[in-house]
Amino acid sequence: MDKSKNKVRRFGIQLKLSVLIGLLLLIVCVLMGLNVYSRVEEGMIDMGAQEAEMAAKMAVSVIDGDELSTIRAGSGLSKEYQNTLKSLRKIQETCGIAYIYTLYTDDKVTLHYGVDTDVSDDGHVHPGEVFEYEYSQYESVFNGETYVEKYIDHTEDGDLISAYLPVYNSKGAVVGILGCDYDAQFVQSELNKVRRSIILITAICLIVSFVVMNIVISSIMRSLKKVNSKIYDIVHNEGDLTQKLDIHSGDEMELIAVNVNKLLEHIREIMLNISHNSTQLGESTVTVVQSLASAKDSIADVSATMEEMSAAMEETSSSLCQVNEAVTSIEDTVISIAKRASDESAGAYDTSRRVMEIYNRAESERDDAKKQAKEMSQSVNEKIESSKAVEKIDALTDEILNITDQTSLLALNASIEAARAGEAGRGFAVVAGEIGSLASNSAKAAEEIQKVSQEVIEAVNALADEAENMIKFMNDTAMAGYEKLLSNSKSYQNDVEHLSNTMQEFSAGSDELRNTISSIKDSVEAVNLAVEESAKGIVNVTEVASDMTERMRMINEEADANEKVAEQLSLEVGKFKL
């Protein structure tokens, strides 16, 4: 292959380095030139500003502030104006200043000229003429400060550097300001010379640096081209890795050549190892293929055995699930029985307690009934004895009847006597009639009372008989019933206590049975879980065995491919001269 056909696709290293370093040199030279120029310009402007300020101070020291305060519009011929003008022109000639002038303001808005040293006809101004700048720009000077322009002002009158100082009167008040314009034409001319010198020096430095740079880069490129030529020979000379780069430039190129030689030696060792390993790979590939064939048959047997074990485990798991369901059903039944036994035991206890309460209440009520029957008997007897007082009413009624008969006879006699008395006894006859009527009514009432008394006496006698019967019933029948109730309650209480004890024993036995069944259930679940895990493990082993079979097939294919790769590596390594 022709070496001349091997060219870079875009730009070469020499061109890239030349352009990059050239740009860097240009930037460095320009920055250095600008820095030098700015420093020279700053120094010269400072010098001009210092001269302008010094001249302004000298001028302020020689003029009279009181005279200056009298100079206004129309004062051009006054003595004060001429004296001030003469002093300022002397300072101007002595210091070489372009212009000296004074400014004043009456309204702190507009500035006016006072004295101007300009002798030209077109530049000279008269007192009172308006200054081109406003008061606000120089307000600090009127307040007693010094104002110096640190730049060159390019005006129609030339290049100037100005300084402004306040002028005081004898009372210490600022009556105006003095402006001093330094002629900066010389400074500007010198700056132009410096600018041209910097440009010329920068251009010369760039040219010299570029030439030196190209010489150095050309030397580096010659070494690089030599290294490239040697590497090209190694690559295109039947893979001869025994060649060496022979460069003795003493710089980095020599170090690169040494490292490339080491790299070639390392590649040669790698290729030797690849040649040796490719031979071993071919041999081991044949062994792997034979081992895979044997392992494939063994894995197939393991897979079949695992499938049988998996089926058996599934049947065992199904049986254990049924046992677990039966144990769960028994446990539920035992829990239900234990709960009912516990409830019945609690119910029997409550029943026993209620029976005891009934017994105690019946015993108490029996005693109360005996007491009340006794008291009732005494009370009834007393009441019966008291009711016999009704018999006295019958005797009293007889006496009332006797009195009534006598009253009737007395009324009859009175009526007879009244009738005998004639008209004088008429009123007495009426009284006698009323008494007769009263006696008749009293007799009827007495007869009724007597009849009622008989009925009451009969009722009292009957009530006494019934009370005696009731007291006998209470003593005989009711008290016997209470005794029977107490006897039955005591017997029922004993039966309930026996039933409660039995239920408690049954509940305790049910709890023990439930715990035993729960333990059996846990054991069955543990066995079932173990069987399921074993079944899953067997299934996983079966799947792994199946997957291993597939992987063995793939490894077998890869082994065949590796055998081909080993042959190909042997062919490729054979292309190199080791």
pLDDT digits (tens, 9 = 90+) for 144-180: 999 998 888 888 878 889 999 999 998 989 999 999 9
With residues binned 3-state (H G I as helix, E B as strand, rest as coil), the percentages for the chain, rounded to 5, are 80, 5, 15
Question: Strands, E, within 39-173: which ranges?
Answer: 99-104, 112-116, 147-148, 153-155, 158-168
Instruction: State the Cα–Cα distance between residues 276 and 573, nearest whole angstrom.
Output: 10
Instruction: State the Cα–Cα distance between residues 216 and 227, nearest whole angstrom.
Output: 17
pLDDT at 173: 92
pLDDT at 104: 92
pLDDT at 5: 45
pTM (2 d.p.): 0.40
Residue with tokens 């120094």: 43
DSSP track, 64-82: -HHHHTT--TT-TTSHHHH
- Domain locations in the chain as residue ranges: 13-217, 325-565
DSSP track, 185-223: HHHHHHHHHHHHHHHHHHHHHHHHHHHHHHHHHHHHHHH
pLDDT at 155: 83
Give pLDDT < 50 ranges for the chain.
1-5
pLDDT at 392: 64
Mean pLDDT score of the chain, rounded to an integer? 75
Per CATH, which fold does 13-217 belong to?
Beta-Lactamase (3.30.450)
pLDDT tens digits, one per residue of 509-556? 667 766 777 776 676 677 667 666 766 766 666 666 667 677 767 777
Torsion, Cα 236 239 243 244, to 10 degrees, reads 70
Question: What are residue 98's phi and psi, to 5 degrees?
Answer: -70, -50
Domain spanning 325-565: CATH 3.30.1390.20: no
